Amino acid sequence: MCAKPDQPSTEGTSFARWGSSFSMKKISFIFVCFIILLFLYFSKIHEWPSVKILLDLQSHTRTAQTHATEGPFVTPYKEMTVEDVMSSLQGNLPTATNFTSFQSSSSARHSVARLEQPRAQFCVGDTLNVLVEMRDYRGRPKAYGGDFILARIHSPKLQASASGDVTDLHNGSYRVHFTLFWPGEVQVSVLLIHPSEAVQVLWRTRKQNYNKIAYTGTFASGSKTETSLCSFRLPKNRPLCEYKDEEQGEYFACVRPPTLPCSSLKTLYSYNTPGPSLTKEETRLLARENIALPIRNNFSAVKVIHCTVTTQRPTEKCVAGMKSPFPSGYFFANRWTSSFCQTSSFLSEDAINSCLMGRRLYFRGDSTVHQYYYYLEKKLTDLKFQGSFGPCLSQLAVDSRRNITVHYMKHFTPWISAHHIPVNGCVYVSRDLEKLELIGDGDGRQDAVVISFGQHFRAFPLEFFIHRLLNLRRAITQLQARSPQTLVMVKLENTRELNSKVLCLSDWYGYMQNMAQRKVFGDLKVALLDAWDITVAANTFAVHPHEIIVSNEVALFLSHLCHHP
Ligand SMILES: *[C@@H]1O[C@H](CO)[C@@H](O)[C@H](O)[C@H]1NC(C)=O
Ligand SMILES: *[C@@H]1O[C@H](CO)[C@@H](O)[C@H](O)[C@H]1NC(C)=O
Ligand SMILES: *[C@@H]1O[C@H](CO)[C@@H](O)[C@H](O)[C@H]1NC(C)=O
Ligand SMILES: *[C@@H]1O[C@H](CO)[C@@H](O)[C@H](O)[C@H]1NC(C)=O
C-alpha cells in the first residue's frame, strides 16, 4: 500500500476541544489523556532518527531535531486533519449532478448582471451590489448554483481596479459585492469562467486521480543513465523504488531502473497522459471558447464621487495573523493599496534596501515566488547573485555591504514541467523549515520566510495538496515556537492563462486550493499574501504576472516586514 496522504495525524487531536462547561472530572480525564499523548508524542520523537528520509543522498540527513533536546513541542493551535479542511470546503463543492446536455448548461451570453440599487452616483467607500442571473443556452433561468464566476471593477484611464466578492445564492443567481475604492467612472466586468456543469466535470475528474500527469525519472551514476516511470501511486506488480517520508506521510515511487540503484535518481520531468475520458458534450463544456466568457451588464459604468472631505485609510499596521478580507485592496495608478492595513510603497531601490538591511529572506516554493527573488536580485544593484548551488539547485543572492541575504529553493515534487526538475538533494518545504537558522529576537532584526505552492498540485487530488499544507502548518508552528520574530508569509496562488490545459490546471482548482490554504493557515500568525485577489483585480490571467504586479506583491510583503520605507 502506498502511504496514505489522508491518514489522520497521530498527534493529539483530542486535547484541542476545550470548552468552558467541562466538569472537574472531565478535565482530569483530559489531563490524563494529555499526559498520555505527550508521552506518545515524545516517544515518537525518539523514533525519528530511524525514519528513512527520501533519497538517502548525502546532503540531507536529519540532523536538526531542534526540539528533541528541548522537550516535546506542544502547539497552542488545534490539530487539523485533511477531513476537517475538506468539510470546511463543502459549501464550495458542486452539488448539481443534472448535466444532460450542453444546451442546458449556463450560458454567459444568455445571462445578465444587474445593479441591485441603481443610483445616479455613488460615494467612495460605498458598496456596489450586482445581481447575476444565470440562464442556459436555451435562455431558461438556471435553478441551481455552482458556476465559477470572477468579477472586478475597473477604471482603465486611472489604472485602477479591484475584485468583487461573489456569493452563490444556490438558485441560479449570484450576488457580487464591490467596494468603491476610488472616484471616477467605474466599469463592472463579470466573467463566467466555468459553468457549474463544467465545474462538476473538473471536480469529478480530480477525485482520487493521480494519473493526469505522469513522470519520467532519470537515474544517473558515472557515465550511465537510465530512465523509468515515476508517480505518486504505482501498482506494486513491478519492483519499485519507493521514496517516502513516513512521518510526514509523503510518498512517491519509480519503477526500479534495470541496473542503477534507487538512490541515483536525479531528476523528474512530467508529461500529460491522455487523461480522463469525457463525453463529447463534456469536452465541449471545457473547450477554450467556452471558458471565461463575459456576462452582459444591463447597466453602464457607474459614477463615483468623494462625498466626504477625508478619505478613510486603514489605521493598523500590516502584521502576520490579520484576517484578510476579500477584496483585500485595490489598484490605483498601478499601485496596490491594502484595504485593511497600512501599505507603504516599497517600490524604489532605496526604500527596499533600507527595509532589508541586515535581514535574511527565504523564498520557498514554485516559480511564482521565484519571481519575487528574481525581482529583488534585478532591482537591487548591490544584491549579487552568488550562484545556483546547494540542495536542489537553490539560488542565493547577497548584498554584503548591507548584510542582506536572499535565498530561493524549489518545493519538492510535484512539478508539472517538461524540464528535468532536480529531486536529488531536494526536501519538502516542511523539512527545510526545521533546519532554517533564523535570527531570534533581541537584535532588532527579523528574518522572513515566504512560501508559495499550489500551481503544480492542481492536476492531483485536493487531499494530496491539503496533506502537504498540513505538514507545512506543523512546520510553521514549530518554527515560530523557536523563532517567534520570524515573519512567515504564505503567498496564495494567482490566476493563470485561460488556455492552460484545463483538466490539469484550471483556475477553479487554484481557487479551491486557496480556500484550503485560508483554512489551514487562517488561525496561525501567518500573513496571507492574496495574489489571487491582486491578479483577479488586474485581470492578468498569467501564471507569471507582469513585473508591475510582482513589484506590488513584494511591496505588500515588505509592508509586513518594515512599517516605514
Ligand atoms: C435535477 O433534476 C430534477 C428533476 O428535473 C430536479 O428536481 C432537481 O432539482 C435537479 N437538481 C438540481 C441540483 O438542479
Ligand atoms: C434567489 O435567492 C435570492 C436570495 O434568497 C432571492 O433574492 C432571489 O429572488 C432568488 N432568485 C430566484 C430567481 O429565485
Ligand atoms: C435592468 O434590469 C432591471 C431589472 O430587471 C430593469 O428594471 C432595468 O430597466 C434594466 N435596465 C436596463 C438599462 O435595461
Ligand atoms: C550579518 O547578519 C548576520 C545574520 O544574518 C549576523 O550574524 C552578522 O553578525 C551580520 N554581520 C554584520 C557585519 O552585521
Ligand nearest to the CA of 436: 4
What is the C-alpha to C-alpha distance for residues 360 and 396, in angstroms, rounded to an integer?
11
Distance 98 CA to ligand 1 centre (A): 6
Residue 96 Cα: closest atom of ligand 1:
13
Distance 143 CA to ligand 1 centre (A): 8
Q: Tell me which of 111, 112, 114, 116 to substitute to probe ligand 3's pocket, judged by most ligand atoms within 8 Å of the beta carbon.
A: 114
For residue 210 the three cell numbers come to 493521480
| Number of Cα atoms under 13 Å in the Cβ half of residue 24 | 0
Query: Residue 78 has what pLDDT?
Result: 78
Residue 98 Cα: closest atom of ligand 1:
1
What is the C-alpha to C-alpha distance for residues 297 and 131, in angstroms, rounded to an integer?
10
What is the C-alpha to C-alpha distance for residues 205 and 69, in angstroms, rounded to an integer?
46
Q: Give the orientation angle of helix 462-482 with respect to helix 507-521, to 10 degrees.
A: 30
Query: Residue 192 has what pLDDT?
Result: 98
Using CA positions, which residue lies closest to atom 8 of ligand 1? 98
Q: Which residues pair with residue 335 across a beta bridge? A: 332
C-alpha dihedral sign at 533, 537, 540, 541: positive
Tell which residue, 361, 462, 331, 472, has the closest CA to residue 412.
472
What is the C-alpha to C-alpha distance for residues 557 and 369, in angstroms, rounded to an integer?
11
Query: Residue 22 has what pLDDT?
Result: 40
- Report which secondary-structure segment, H or E, holds 119: none
Q: Tell me which of 169, 170, 177 to substitute to probe ligand 2's pocket, judged by most ligand atoms within 8 Å of the beta carbon.
A: 169
Residues in CB range of 119: below 8 A, 6 or more apart: 302
DSSP 8-state code for residue 316: S
Q: Tell me which of 95, 97, 98 to substitute to probe ligand 1's pocket, judged by most ligand atoms within 8 Å of the beta carbon.
A: 98
Query: Residue 548 has what pLDDT?
Result: 97
Q: Are 333 and 160 in contact (CB under 8 A)?
A: yes
Ligand 3 pocket, 300 CB below 6 A? no
| Cα 139 to the center of its chain, rounded Å | 37
Query: Tens place of pLDDT for every residue, the chain, 565 residues?
Result: 233 333 333 222 222 222 333 444 554 545 544 544 444 444 433 333 222 333 333 233 333 333 334 445 556 677 899 999 999 999 998 876 667 899 999 999 999 999 999 999 999 999 999 999 999 999 999 999 999 999 999 999 999 999 999 999 999 999 999 999 999 999 999 999 999 999 999 999 999 999 999 999 999 999 999 999 999 999 999 999 999 999 999 999 999 999 999 999 999 999 999 989 999 999 999 999 999 999 999 999 999 999 987 777 898 999 999 998 999 999 999 999 999 999 998 999 999 999 999 999 999 999 999 999 999 999 999 999 998 877 688 999 999 999 999 999 999 999 999 999 999 889 999 999 998 877 654 556 789 999 999 999 999 999 999 999 999 999 999 999 988 889 999 999 999 999 999 999 999 999 999 999 999 999 999 999 999 999 999 999 999 999 999 999 999 999 999 986 5
Ligand nearest to the CA of 106: 1
Ligand nearest to the CA of 172: 2
Q: Are 409 and 451 in contact (CB under 8 A)?
A: no
DSSP 8-state code for residue 445: -
Residue 171 Cα: closest atom of ligand 2:
1
Residue 97 Cα: closest atom of ligand 1:
13
Query: Residue 243 has what pLDDT?
Result: 96
Gyration radius (Cα) of the chain, Å: 25
Residue tagged 465541449 (cell numbers): 284
Report residues whose beta carbon is within 6 angstroms of any ligand 2 atom.
141, 169, 171-173
Count of CB atoms situated within 10 Å of the CB of 72:
16
Q: Which domains does the chain have, with CATH numbers?
A: 95-202+288-305 (2.60.40.10), 213-272 (no CATH), 328-561 (3.40.50.1110)
- Report which secondary-structure segment, H or E, holds 369: helix 367-379
Cis peptide before 414, with omega less than 30 degrees from 0?
yes
Report residues whose beta carbon is within 6 angstroms of any ligand 4 atom.
358, 360, 403, 439
Query: Residue 471 has what pLDDT?
Result: 97
What is the C-alpha to C-alpha distance for residues 510 and 194, in angstroms, rounded to an integer?
13
Using CA positions, which residue lies closest to atom 4 of ligand 1? 98
Residues in CB range of 376: below 8 A, 6 or more apart: 352, 356, 361, 383, 397, 406, 554
Q: Tell me which of 403, 485, 486 to substitute to probe ligand 4's pocket, judged by most ligand atoms within 8 Å of the beta carbon.
A: 403
Name residue 158's amino acid: L
Distances (CA, A) of 409 to 368, 391, 436, 550: 12, 8, 12, 18
Distance 112 CA to ligand 3 centre (A): 10
Residue 360 Cα: closest atom of ligand 4:
5
Q: Where are the beta strands (DSSP E) in 21-115?
A: 106-115
Ligand 3 pocket, 298 CB below 6 A? yes
Write out pLDDT tens, residues 294-325. Answer: 999 999 999 999 998 777 789 899 999 999 89
For residue 183 the three cell numbers come to 472616484
Q: Are 295 and 108 in contact (CB under 8 A)?
A: yes
C-alpha dihedral sign at 191, 196, 197, 201: positive
Query: Residue 439 has what pLDDT?
Result: 65
> Both ends of the chain: CA-CA distance in Å?
54
